[in-house]
Amino acid sequence: MKNLEDNYWKQVEDLNWGKEHSILRIEKELKKNHTLSECIQLDDFVQNKVRQLKRKFHNDWLDDPGINVSDDGWDDLSNEVVGRGKKFYENITVKKLQEMANNYDYCENFSYCFQWTWDKKLI
């Protein structure tokens, strides 16, 4: 299981979201280098990590002073953290999330790189 998780993290990091926030570029890379099934599995992994992050910091987000983003911004910020890779994800803190929010150091939205797979999950 650990090797599988490490493999997913490597795939996320290889997409270089933190260096260039290009949904179209990443979508093309995903389609070129992975099967549809692999892309769906990677999306599931990403969304699971986003949910874990949101649960972990939910109260901090809503606290005073909190993390200054809207519901939609919280989704974007959480996806940004996952999109930057394992080390960034594992070392994220409330203070860093607050700084990212205050400095608009996040983009909309890493999960959109997988949007083309969403309707295919229903098949």
For 53-83, what is each residue's pLDDT tens digit? 999 999 999 998 899 999 999 999 999 999 9
Q: Classify burial at 64, counting beta carbons within 10 Å of its beta carbon; exposed 0-12, middle 13-18, buried 19 or more.
A: exposed
What's the Rg (C-alpha) of the chain? 14
* Cα–Cα dist 10/30, whole Å: 13
Summarised one tens digit per residue, pLDDT across range 77-123 is: 999 999 999 999 999 999 999 999 999 999 999 999 999 999 887 65
| Per-residue CA distances from 117 to 10, 14, 66, 97 (Å) | 20, 19, 33, 29
pLDDT at 80: 98
Q: What six digits make up the tokens of 30? A: 């995903």
Q: Return the structure tokens found at 93.
A: 């803190």
